[in-house]
């Protein structure tokens, strides 16, 4: 089974029940069989979402602690070269595809490693298709596993 890049949009849906989806749950199960790689900004993005949702009153600090336990238990590999691509490939992709630098980082990683991308972000998925990056989908997941 092939590796894949995981973005924040999928992993955040594991934490909030109102954002759960079959897609995200399938991706979570894939973590058992595949190497999952994230851009190094993933941790900051996840922490930011948790902080923002605490401030909004959507979750309490105890729920954040539970979320962190879930995330810490995942076997995720962190790309150590994300920062070195920030002012070159990531900036260029963001400009060309109309993406935020954060989203472009996941796309650049998938392109550089030549592996699929798991995302729930429609704009990022569209940019991935434009760049000939495979976006994990149910048909592919059912065919492979």
User: What are the boundaries of each domain within the chain?
Assistant: 4-136
Residue 139 pLDDT grade (very low, low, confident, very high; cuts 50, 70, 90): low
Q: Are 100 and 118 in contact (CB under 8 A)?
A: no
The enclosing H or E element of 76 equals strand 76-78
The topology (CATH level 3) of 4-136 is Rossmann fold (3.40.50)
**Cβ proximity of 54 and 23 under 8 Å:** no
- Using CA atoms, how far apart are residues 145 and 97, in angstroms rounded to an integer? 31
CA dist 18 and 11 (Å) reads 13
Taking the model in full, what pTM does it have? 0.91
Q: What is the pLDDT of residues 68-111, one digit of tens each?
A: 999 999 999 999 999 999 999 999 999 999 999 999 999 999 99
Distance of CA 18 to the CA centre of its chain: 18
Enclosing H/E stretch for 14: none
């Amino acid at each position: 089974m092939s590796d894949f890049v995981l973005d924040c949009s999928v992993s955040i849906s594991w934490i909030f029940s109102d954002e759960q989806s079959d897609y995200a749950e399938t991706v979570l199960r894939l973590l058992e069989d595949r190497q999952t790689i994230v851009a190094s900004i993933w941790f900051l993005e996840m922490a930011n979402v948790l902080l923002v949702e605490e401030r909004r009153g959507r979750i309490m600090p105890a729920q954040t602690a539970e979320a962190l336990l879930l995330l810490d238990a995942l076997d995720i590999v962190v790309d150590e070269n994300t920062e070195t691509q920030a002012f070159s490939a990531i900036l260029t992709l963001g400009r060309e595809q109309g993406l935020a630098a954060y989203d472009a980082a996941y796309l650049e990683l998938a392109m550089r490693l030549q592996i699929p991308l798991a995302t729930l972000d429609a704009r990022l998925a569209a940019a991935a298709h434009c760049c000939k990056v495979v976006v994990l989908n149910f048909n592919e997941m059912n065919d492979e596993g």
